[in-house]
Amino acid sequence: MTLSAPCYDRTDYWRYFELDYAGLRVLDIGSSAGSYDKRSEFQGARVGLKKAARYVALDISALAKPDVAGDAHALPFADGTFDVILANNVIEHLSEPAVGVAEMRRVLAPNGQVLYTIPFLYPVHEAPHDYTRFTRYGLRRLFRYFSGVEIHTSGGVFSTLAQLVFLLTRAADPVKLGGVLRAVMFPGLWLAVQMDRFDRSDAFTRVYYGRLHK
């Protein structure tokens, strides 16, 4: 049982990726972690991607069985190849994020866009290849060479605390009490997540997401 912070921005986090992909050339970077083919929440995006003129899944690991195995720091595509680039939970795994973002911009066609998500207050994952976190201000600097930058937030102080408590219950897993604690505490943790709507500080954001326009 896991918790996922809802988004109280007017834009729904999951539906944000439900574009009209018909006729577009799409690159999905880090596709094994991007989870468009794995999570039911991305159903709309997954259906839309079937209408793309070209869809290329890229991952650094050939074990993930991507269409192309390659490094996001040196994308194996010509300039302006893609109309849309998907970078869902990828940038934090780039050892040189500025290089990776520059590569995304290079292979993006004029008037193209990048859709991204990146965690902020979120546990280390995919270790040892989890390298960085950015504030909103760090993201604006990272994306400064794009003509348009959209940054939205998901989660706040209450879901951050709920997640911390949830993770702490794992300490009881060796004695087989973790699951019991999570089941007992889940209603309270769920309520805490709902209270994020009252946090407007932007100081405890769990995830940033948005669009970059070339």
Residue 128: exposure state from Cβ atoms within 10 A (0-12, 13-18, ≥19): exposed
Q: How far apart are CA 99 and CA 94, in angstroms?
A: 9
Say whether 211 sits in a helix, a strand or coil: strand
pLDDT in tens, 63-104: 878 889 999 999 999 999 999 999 988 999 999 999 999 999
**How much helix, strand and coil, in percent to the nearest 5, is found in the chain?**
40, 20, 40
- What digits encode the pLDDT tens for the residues 164-201? 888 888 899 999 998 899 889 888 888 888 888 888 88
pTM of the full predicted structure? Answer: 0.86
Q: In the Cβ-directed half-sphere of 56, how many Cα atoms lie within 13 Å?
A: 19
Would you state the CATH architecture of domain 15-155+205-213? 3-Layer(aba) Sandwich (3.40)
Residue 150 has a CB neighbour count (10 Å cut-off) of 16
